[in-house]
């Protein structure tokens, strides 16, 4: 709640208006982000439908799903530039338009190439959303609440992942996968229209003082140099890059597993039906969502970033060791294992706050986009790489026109996840501790 937003007599009404405006903006943005996660995870549930519709191999299916991550990764730094220059509003309007049209095209696709084109447009559109929300959080909420808001954003966004698991599997019993994606595309177009009418980039656009001024601090000085110089300065900031490797190792792996291979693994190895396998993914996604909020809140409360992230990264890597080498089966042990991976994997959320706190506040969008690129480069590499490893040892087993992989195939393929998880642990140990405050000025003084 801002402390001062108006003169005498109108304080309460102005404070209420401020809360309603920033709450409305956040709701529109977070609804858009829910669809980002839906598109990210839905291929895991419709994988067999896609194999049947387009006659794909494991590597081809992995490539179709990974197009989203490939485009997303390539767009992260441009997304940060857009957020810091044009602002959240323009980015989200354009993103919803592209994602909506892409989802409709994907649902109507009659060929593999058309499906790839639709997936490309979806990835292009949704790629700008997360960085825009984080920029919005930086502009509209106190710095001391940024870790919590990051966790809350991921918690609610993951509802899209949850919908893309069990509920989507149930929906496919009634509706075709094509109709579902066309409907999601229409929803994106509607959210784009709402963003046009209601979203603004900063409190000053509604004639409020900035968050810094509301808290009695000096406003952030405007940046006057060209954005290219700003971006180069962000890229040269070595304290940002450990977060990039954390994202590639932890987030890339968990997105690849939850977004494609997890449900197929349970179907092929443990002979679970799609709906039953999707329940394990739903639990994993729920644990991931709750963990995102927990780690963001706990790090803010503790006043430290690094020890929390290191603990989460080690626990996440151990989860893959448990899955690959310990005896477990569907049932209680399986639910515990999938929940463990989801919860510990969400610890990556701390890297966003750490990145924002080692760079000038006006460049928070670029800083977040740089490390977020790591997650999607990781997923882009892992999804087809796992499929390629599965194809290497595949014995030719088929169920109709769908390839069926053996337990040994999956063991070899999922070793990729463990290798990337270790990369995340190394990145966590290299993270700069910020003690939950912006230290960019101190770093600049030290370097000079």
Q: State the pLDDT at residue 216.
A: 67
pLDDT tens digit string along 93-102?
999 999 999 9
Which of 56-70, 111-125, 176-190, 289-303 shows the lowest per-residue confidence on average (mean pLDDT)? Answer: 56-70
Q: State the pLDDT at residue 3.
A: 46
Cα separations (Å) of 355 from 240, 259, 447?
5, 26, 17
What percent of the chain is modeled with pLDDT above 70?
A: 93
Q: State the pLDDT at residue 279.
A: 87
Expressed in angstroms, the distance from the first to the final Cα of the chain is 38
Q: How confident is the model at residue 4 (pLDDT cuts 50, 70, 90)?
A: very low
Q: From CA 73, how far away is CA 66, in angstroms rounded?
A: 10
DSSP string, 339-366: HHHHHHHGGGGHHHHHHHTTS-GGGHHH
For residue 34, what are the domain limits?
17-208+227-447
In a 3-state reduction of DSSP, which class is residue 403? strand
Q: Domain for residue 322, yes or no?
A: yes
pLDDT tens digit string along 363-412?
877 888 889 889 888 988 898 899 899 999 889 898 877 788 999 999 99
Q: State the pLDDT at residue 5.
A: 45
What mean pLDDT do residues 138-159 have?
80
The mean pLDDT value of the chain amounts to 86
What percent of the chain is modeled with pLDDT above 90?
A: 42
Q: Domain for residue 9, yes or no?
A: no
Which of 11-15, 41-45, 160-164, 242-246 shows the lowest per-residue confidence on average (mean pLDDT)? Answer: 160-164
Q: State the pLDDT at residue 9.
A: 52
Q: State the pLDDT at residue 222.
A: 58
Q: Domain for residue 78, yes or no?
A: yes
Identify the CATH number of the domain in which residue 196 sits.
Answer: 1.20.1250.20
Give yes or no for residue 6 having a pLDDT over 50: no
Q: How confident is the model at residue 165 (pLDDT cuts 50, 70, 90)?
A: low
Strand partners, 402: 399
Q: Domain for residue 219, yes or no?
A: no
Number of domains observed in the structure of the chain: 1
Q: How confident is the model at residue 122 (pLDDT cuts 50, 70, 90)?
A: very high
Which of 10-24, 122-136, 215-229 shows the lowest per-residue confidence on average (mean pLDDT)? Answer: 215-229
Q: Domain for residue 255, yes or no?
A: yes
Q: Domain for residue 39, yes or no?
A: yes
Q: State the pLDDT at residue 405.
A: 92
pLDDT tens digit string along 61-96?
878 888 887 888 888 888 888 888 888 999 999 999
Q: From CA 168, how far away is CA 180, in angstroms rounded?
A: 9
Instruction: Check: CB of residue 381 under 8 Å from CB of residue 423.
Output: no
pLDDT tens digit string along 172-185?
888 888 998 899 89
Per the model's pLDDT, the better-predicted residue between 203 and 214 turns out to be 203
Q: Domain for residue 217, yes or no?
A: no
Q: How confident is the model at residue 448 (pLDDT cuts 50, 70, 90)?
A: very low
Q: How many residues does the chain have?
A: 448
Q: Domain for residue 60, yes or no?
A: yes
């Amino acid at each position: 709640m801002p402390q001062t937003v108006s003169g005498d007599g109108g304080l309460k009404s102005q404070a209420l208006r401020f809360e309603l405006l920033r709450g409305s903006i956040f709701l529109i943005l977070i609804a858009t982000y829910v669809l980002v996660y839906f598109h990210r995870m839905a291929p895991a549930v419709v994988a067999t439908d896609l194999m049947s519709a387009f006659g794909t191999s494991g590597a081809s299916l992995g490539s179709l799903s990974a197009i989203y991550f490939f485009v997303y990764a390539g767009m992260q730094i441009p997304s940060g530039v857009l957020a810091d220059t044009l602002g959240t509003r323009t980015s989200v309007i354009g993103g919803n338009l592209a994602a909506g049209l892409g989802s409709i095209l994907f649902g109507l696709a009659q060929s593999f190439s058309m499906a790839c084109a639709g997936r490309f447009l979806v990835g292009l559109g949704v790629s700008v959303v997360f960085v825009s929300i984080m920029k919005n959080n930086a502009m509209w909420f106190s710095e001391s609440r940024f870790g919590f808001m990051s966790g809350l954003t991921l918690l609610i966004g993951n509802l899209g992942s949850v919908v893309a698991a069990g509920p989507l599997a149930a929906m496919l019993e009634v509706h075709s996968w094509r109709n579902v994606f066309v409907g999601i595309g229409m929803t994106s177009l509607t959210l784009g229209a709402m963003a046009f009418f209601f979203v603004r980039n900063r409190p000053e656009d509604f004639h409020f003082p900035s968050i810094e001024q509301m808290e009695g601090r000096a406003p952030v000085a405007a940046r006057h140099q060209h954005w290219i110089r700003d971006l180069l300065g962000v890229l040269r900031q070595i304290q940002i890059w450990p977060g990039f490797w954390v994202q590639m190792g932890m987030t890339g792996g968990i997105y690849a597993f939850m977004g494609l291979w997890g449900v197929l693994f349970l179907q092929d190895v443990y002979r679970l039906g799609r709906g039953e396998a999707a329940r394990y993914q739903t639990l994993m996604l729920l644990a991931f969502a709750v963990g995102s909020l927990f780690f963001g809140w706990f790090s803010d409360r503790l006043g430290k970033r690094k020890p929390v992230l290191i603990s989460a990264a080690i626990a996440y890597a151990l989860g893959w060791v448990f899955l690959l080498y310990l005896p477990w089966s569907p049932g209680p042990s399986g639910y515990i294992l999938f929940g463990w991976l989801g919860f510990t994997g969400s610890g990556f959320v701390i890297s966003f706050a750490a990145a924002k706190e080692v760079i000038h506040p006006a460049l928070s969008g670029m800083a977040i986009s740089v490390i977020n690129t790591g997650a999607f480069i990781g997923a882009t590499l892992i999804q087809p790489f796992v499929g390629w490893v599965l194809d290497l040892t595949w014995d030719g087993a088929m169920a109709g026109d769908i390839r069926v992989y053996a337990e040994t195939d999956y063991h070899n393929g999922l070793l990729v996840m463990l290798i990337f998880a270790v990369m995340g642990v190394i990145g966590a140990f290299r993270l700069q501790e910020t003690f939950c405050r912006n230290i960019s000025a101190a770093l600049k003084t030290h370097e000079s």
